[in-house]
Structure 1
Amino acid sequence: MATIQHITSHLPGNIRIHAKLERFNPGGSVKDRPALWMIREGLKTGQLDKTKVILDSTSGNTGIALAMIGASMGFKVRLVMPGNVSDERKRICRAFGAELIFSDPLEGSDGSILDARKIYEENPDHYFKPDQYNNPSNPRAHEESTGPEIWRDTEGKVTHFVASMGTSGTLVGTGRHLKRMNNNIQIIAAEPDSPFHGIEGLKHIESSIVPGVYDPTVYDQKIGIDTDVAYSFTQRLASEEGILCGQSCGCALAAALKVAENLAEQNQPGEIVAIFPDGGEKYLSTPVFAGSDRVTYAEGI
């Protein structure tokens, strides 16, 4: 984990925000965890064998994880994703040998879910569909790994946990473990504040197909974040903290700062941990980093 230092310089010293940097997983994101758990469960139950093609809907990171693990284990992988996901995500999936099918960009992740479901129903014996939005192995991965790691790394001192929501698996699984360790830990859900947003990988739950793994009883508070605010914090994390990360990380930090500033107003301490799901390399071609390619020429050269 990395402690956010410069963006939080206005906070009292007894309130700290720590970022759990999931970019260091082999596939570059938090989604490596549920992807591995779902594939292991499929093999264990016999739903997955070498005659099956792995099929799922994804906004990118789960697809990368499935493609990577599939390649290492000798499985073919077929992914359905919105046509407007970043070019980097598409290229990484293809580099791992996955076949890509693009859904209508205007329908977001819901369009991918529906298209993948249709493909599966046409030939169910041909596919193993992890179904990350409804597979209990998704939150279980975080309950058995992410949560224990946070508890260990903070020596049990974590007071607040913040996660942005896509499938909601990270929030739900990690939250369950932390609540079991200390029920006073506050679990904070961060999501886009509008159905029409530009934060790749995240859902505005109220206006979307609600994931089967979503459990609103796990969290204590939900905070909506504007797309421009998420973009701004994503940019600041790179330029001020040296953390190149994705848009959902900016969303999580924005929510964590709201929590921290509220604690400061109440003169209360806090050890806040926010999940940073991935790195920023996959977003360099997207609007969040627009303008970062400006060139300045030195005079006289």
Structure 2
Amino acid sequence: MGSRAHCIKGEQLTERIGRTPLLRLARVPAQLGVGTEVQILAKAEWFNPGGSVKDRAALRIVEDARRDGRLRPGMTLLDATSGNTGIAYAMIGAAWGFPVTLVVPASIGEERRRILLAYGANLIFSDPYEGTDGAIRLARELAAREPDRYFYADQYSNPSNWLAHYDTTGVEILEQTGGEVTHLVAGLGTTGTMMGTGRRLKDANPDVVLIGVQPDDAFHGLEGLKHLPTAMLPAIYDPSLVDRMELVNTDEAFAMARQLAREEGLFVGPSAAAAIVAAIRVARELSSGCVVTILPDGGVKYLSTQLWQ
């Protein structure tokens, strides 16, 4: 009697987006004066298949656009990015079969450039001295010039960005902490992570304190973060939602990234390290509490930068 083969049902790559672990920091907070009754927990977003928190927003943006017809067969997804959202778009485009064109500053890191090309994305380079704001302006020009060719995802203005975090990141944090989270610390770039996660936590408990993190200077090295006073403000940003703002110096964040790698085993990018700097500042002021922060990505994409030289 012949045997019959059984095949275990697999899942799509994009089904692995979200549900990232919440890691407890131990050694570094204790060394820097955080009390034993205060926990610092970090969402390890590099566990997403595209390697960053931006997988969440990119997936929701694409899903919503396909559902309502803004991204139709034959169209190309277009957006401006400093790297991580672009990687997420390119990954999803490769998996689902639609072309992706990305406007990126010419100063983009070598690792992110190569990853985007590996996924098959078409790259258009903007003025390196204008940063992501310059990339946004150029992407808008391209979208206006050929509206039938491009779906302009516009992550800085698209409500699907923050809704992704309202429906996933915030829910996960509430579940993983048993609702005991007292503070959320998140970097501000597109601001989607803070806007969505913060709203979800506030809906569950209005006493949760939301702390935004941004560079202390317009000329900074914290990739993915915006110095809001000198940058184009994202349309999805609502400053009234943020209870407190922490400004982080690039050198301070770089030092923290190295310390986290060597003393916590956490190999993170500069924006993640900046979030930890701010989280420790907050935690040192508390006698008890549960401080949750978002670590947007890992450190692999920054090996050629000054962070590790």
TM-score (norm 1): 0.94
Shift of 1:217: 1.6
Amino acid at match of 1:198: G
Q: What's 1:289 paired with?
A: 308
Partner amino acid for 1:8?
A: P
Structure-1 residue corresponding to 2:82: 59
2:11 corresponds to:
none
**8 Å Cα contact 1:85-1:200 kept in structure 2:** no
Partner of 1:253: 276
Task: Pick the aligned partner of 2:245 from 222, 240, 248.
Answer: 222
Structure 1 unaligned blocks of 5 or more = 291-301
- Of 120, 133, 136, 1:110 maps to 133
CA contact (8 A) 1:192 1:204 kept: yes
Q: Does 1:87 align with 2:110?
A: yes
Distance 1:193 1:5 in 2: 27
Could you tell me which of 167, 170, 173 is aligned with 2:193?
170
Superposition deviation, residue 7 in structure 1: 0.8
Match of 2:29 in 1: 8
- CA offset at residue 235 of structure 1? 1.2
- For the residue of structure 1 that corresponds to 2:153, the secondary structure is coil
What letter corresponds to residue 287 of structure 1 in structure 2? Q
Q: Output the CA distance in 2 between the equivalents of 1:12 and 1:233.
A: 19
2:63 alignment counterpart:
40
Structure 1 residues 233-274: Cα deviation after superposition (integer angstroms, max 9, x where no partner): 1111111110111100011001101101122xxxx2111001
Choose which of 162, 168, 180 in structure 2 pairs with 1:139. 162
Amino acid at match of 2:106: G
User: Which secondary structure state, in structure 2, belongs to the residue aligned with residue 167 of structure 1?
Assistant: coil
Q: State the alpha-carbon separation in 2 of the partners of residues 18 and 288 from structure 1.
A: 24
What does the per-residue CA deviation read over 1:184-242, in whole Å, with 9 as the maximum and x for residues that have no partner?
01000000011111111110111100000101121110111011111111111111110
**Are 2:262 and 1:243 equivalent residues in the alignment?**
no
Residue 223 of structure 2 corresponds to residue 200 of structure 1: yes
Q: Secondary structure at the match of 2:78?
A: strand
Check whether the contact 1:52–1:75 (CA below 8 A) recurs between aligned residues: yes
Counterpart of 2:304 in structure 1: which amino acid? S
1:26 aligns to what SS in structure 2?
coil
Q: Is the Cα–Cα contact under 8 Å of residues 17 and 274 in structure 1 kept in the other structure? A: yes
Match of 2:122 in 1: 99
Deviation (angstroms), 1:39: 0.4
Q: 1:275 maps to what in 2?
A: 294
Aligned to 1:272, the other structure's residue is in SS state: strand
Counterpart AA for 1:142: H
Could you tell me which runs of 5 or more consecutive residues in structure 2 were left unpaired when the two chains were aligned: 1-21
Alignment of 1:175-194 (within 5 A): 175-194=198-217
Task: Tell me if the contact between 2:166 and 2:200 (Cα under 8 Å) persists in the aligned partners.
Answer: yes
Give the equivalent residue in structure 1 for 2:16: none
TM-score of the superposed pair, with normalisation by structure 2: 0.91
Q: Is the 8 A contact 2:34 2:280 kept in 1?
A: no
Q: Where does residue 51 of structure 2 map in the other structure?
A: 28
Computed over aligned residues only, the root mean square deviation of the Cα atoms, in angstroms, reads 0.7
Runs of 4+ displaced beyond 6 Å = none
Q: Following the alignment from structure 1 to structure 2, what is the Cα–Cα distance between the partners of residues 13 and 230?
A: 23
Q: Is this contact kept in 1: 2:35–2:284, CA < 8 A?
A: no
Amino acid at match of 1:167: T
Aligned-pair CA distance for 1:84: 1.3
Identity %: 48
Secondary structure of the 2:28 match is coil
User: Structure 2 counterpart of 1:103, which letter?
Assistant: S
Q: Give the Cα–Cα distance (whole angstroms) in 2 for the partners of residues 77 and 12 of structure 1.
A: 47
Aligned residues: 286
Q: How far does the alpha carbon of each residue in 1:117-164 deviate from its partner, in whole angstroms, 9 at most, with x for none?
A: 111111111001110000000000000000000000001111000000
Q: Using the TM superposition, give the Cα deviation of residue 101 of structure 1 relative to its aligned residue in structure 2, in angstroms.
A: 1.0
Match of 1:148 among 171, 176, 192: 171
Question: Hey, what does 1:232 align to over in structure 2?
Answer: 255
1:152 & 1:65 partners in 2: Cα distance?
25
1:298 matched residue in structure 2: none
**Which stretch shifts more, 171-180 or 3-12?**
3-12
